[in-house]
Chains A and B, each alone.
Chain A
Amino acid sequence: MMATPSLLLYVDGSLFAKKVKDTRPVEQKHPSWKVFGKLPPKESSAKTQKEYEAKNSRDGPGLSPTSPRRSVRKNLDFEPLSTTALILEDRPANLPAKPAEEAQKHRQQYEEMVAQAKKRELKEAQKRRKQLEDRVKVEERIGNAAQTWNQEILPNWSSLCTTRWVRELWWQGIPPSVRGKVWSLAVGNELNITHELYNICLSRAREKWKNMPSVPPIESQTEDAGSSLADREASLELIKLDISRTFPHLCIFQQGGPYYDVLHSILGAYTCYRPDVGYVQGMSFIAAVLILNLDTADAFIAFANLLNKPCQMAFFRVDHSLMLMYFAAFEVFFEENLPKLFAHFKENNLTPDIYLIDWIFTLYSKSLPLDLACRVWDVFCRDGDEFLFRVALGILRLYEDVLTRMDFIHNAQFLTRLPDLIPADQLFSHIHAIHMISKNRKWSQVLQALQKEQERTSPVLKR
């Protein structure tokens, strides 16, 4: 089973709750889970059932022919449940008594009504109990999963990370409290970046910002050297501009927000760490997601290492011919998995670059809801770049019916602006259904074959 909406809500909320340095075991960190866990589901649900019934009856069902409401009001300390509120009374003494037959009929009607009301309440209570149980289960699962990750998997990372058991747990989504740690471990630190190195890069960036002229140099762009200088300075300006345009709805990265400086620092430090790559639009989203899950220096380390992966390097250097190769590989698996939609897109000249560029550059953090994007990142950390393209196919598969009915422009609009509400479980089961094997070749093999072909046909045509 995948996460349910309530899990997602929780995940989303806790994205911002990390930051607290915490080495206590999980159950102490989140006492609420334990409280829930200790209450046997039946007891807690019975309690809510009573509350529910009490609340419901205040509205008064008004079913009794003898107006139960009045009798209830007479005795205020009696809080009626809706079934007990239905009281069969005899006629007041000042009126002649009912004939036996009528009284019998009324009694029967009364019993039927009570039985029905009871049945309905039981059904509703069962439904509520089920919902509550589900929620408890999900919360317990997150709690248990966090405990499992913390106490069993993380201490034995290198020996366990490739086991089937861990990989399956991984697919279900990493609990937010350990997410950053798992990402860090999975991305690794091939570049051997230390916290000191980050600080050096940061102070260099700060030096640059200080020396940056407030007004950009005029008309020096025609010279090559001048152009690259202007470009670099422009990119510092652009970082500022883009930070304000990174998850604007969260209001935490914008100027004055709590993470403005952090995001600014990481992006600035990166331009000093890799001046040959510099700042490229899309990076701010990746850095932002990392900041939400890791401390600053660790976020920088993960950021630099993540961007250093072949696929990310190809994209962030905007190496067009390499990008085209990735798109070509994508199309191989697109045709294999969704031949009908593939043909429809071909017919409409809808090329994959149109929607893939945004998805790959931002690792879906801009196009999918943040909680869902984090789950994509989870498995991306496990499976590598192949998974990014698998997600793309999963999205196409999820919306295949709609997409095959629309023309170029509507498809292009749809894919560059996905619906706000995407059912996580469904998306992940569609991703699961995508086979990344084409004619016995894996993603990496298809990519390699394309690369060889490209090298053979145009050895010097690298822009």
Chain B
Amino acid sequence: MLRFILRRLLAGVILLFAVSSLAYLLLYLGAGDIARQILGQEATQEQVQQLNTRLGLDQPLLTRYFGWLAGAVTGDFGASWFTNQPVIAAITSRLAVTLSLVIGTVTLTAIVGTALGVWAARKRGAADRTVQIVSVLGFAIPGFLIAIFLVNLFALNLKLFRPTGYIPIGTSFTGWLSTVTLPIIALAIGAIAAIAAQVRGSVIDTMRQDWVRTLRSRGLSENRVLYKHVLRNAGGPALAVLAVQFVGLLGGAVIVEQIFAIPGLGPIATQSTGQGDIPLVMGLVVVTAALVVVVNIVIEILHGFLNPKARIS
């Protein structure tokens, strides 16, 4: 087990290195004149030159990259070029906000998606068709449209929730709920659709297996067959989908956070990428890639937990 984790972590480090190198290269190629971008229309050309020199933008690509890498390895990601805030501080103060959204979404998705999938698989008929249609819809409608609809209905017209902003859970739990409920629903609908469809399909497939018939013939109750045996087998693929969803949700959160003006990673991700704020973008790339690596390791361990065949000895 420990060996497995170590191997995975090593692979993760290599992945991080590859991803950050590629990201740095892409940023370098697409950056344009960042110093002018930072200073705006009022600055003179001399000021722009000075800033280029100060930020090391006149250095060759490799010098700059290794400079960044040397800092990054020691945990020094520098400071944002546009707000002067240290990158680590910028990310840590916002990561928890985004993660609370994403984890809330994943939890909601796992519960509602599984329930819907199982229900459809068991009832079949009209219930099944309804779930299928709803999941296609949920899949097809982009999260940001759902977000805009939710804000208009529940925040602006019914005034049940706050239209924008974020209240930390420590300040007020109800305040926190009033700010995260709509974003989580907006994010979850697409994910629930995917999970429900996946669970439904796997449960139906598993129910057709010979061993299920054997279990039934031994007199096990239908509930016991379903929850103890079938769902466990069907859970593997669903978990894999959920893992992919988690990563996708980090991207989805970027847009939803913009719409709700939530101070998570989303606003700085879009701003820093658009502006060419290389230190901040690189910090975000590393953190996101690390998250992906960690989530995948966790999912694989969970997978073994559900399915002894996949268990790592």
Chain B binds chain A: no
